[in-house]
Structure 1
């Protein structure tokens, strides 16, 4: 998991990606899915509001899910 976390951090440093909350499928988040989890692949439900995926900068809020659009901030 540390490898995935390092990869996510390197991608973020390029400035070409945003953290997009609420768009990851179960177990497919990039890193940090809230209390009791550590990093990538730890989300327990689809579109979990506190789990994020890296997406191309400027596209997050255009991503539609059954729960609404992606968010640049964590959802409860």
Structure 2
């Protein structure tokens, strides 16, 4: 291996390490979330909303009890809707 090749290998290694470290730090800074049922507006849920739906944006009515939205941990049960408070479990 020549000096130029060795220098290039070291530079690549440093660049990859910095990228991985940056991604890890960014993930650690992201707020933790939990599923909160009954708070999403129609078509604004984050994922599966019960039988007959597949994923994000498939809830058919506002505050659908089996549709969830990702919210910051510890805030779900304090979210007030016209149908009551948010729930950590699906509602019928």
What TM-score do the two structures reach when normalised by structure 2?
0.67
Q: Which structure 2 segments of 5+ residues have no match?
A: 1-26
* Number of the residue aligned with 1:72: 88
Query: Residues of 2 paired with 1:58 and 1:24: CA distance?
Result: 17
* Number of the residue aligned with 1:46: 62
Bigger relative contact order (CA 8 A; separation at least 6): 1
More helix by share: 2
**Counterpart mapping for 1:1-76 below 5 A:** 16-76=32-92
**Runs of at least 4 residues of structure 1 off by over 2 A?**
none
Q: How many residues get paired? A: 64
Query: Residues of 2 paired with 1:62 and 1:55: CA distance?
Result: 11
Query: Residues of 2 paired with 1:42 and 1:17: CA distance?
Result: 20
Query: Residues of 2 paired with 1:15 and 1:48: CA distance?
Result: 25
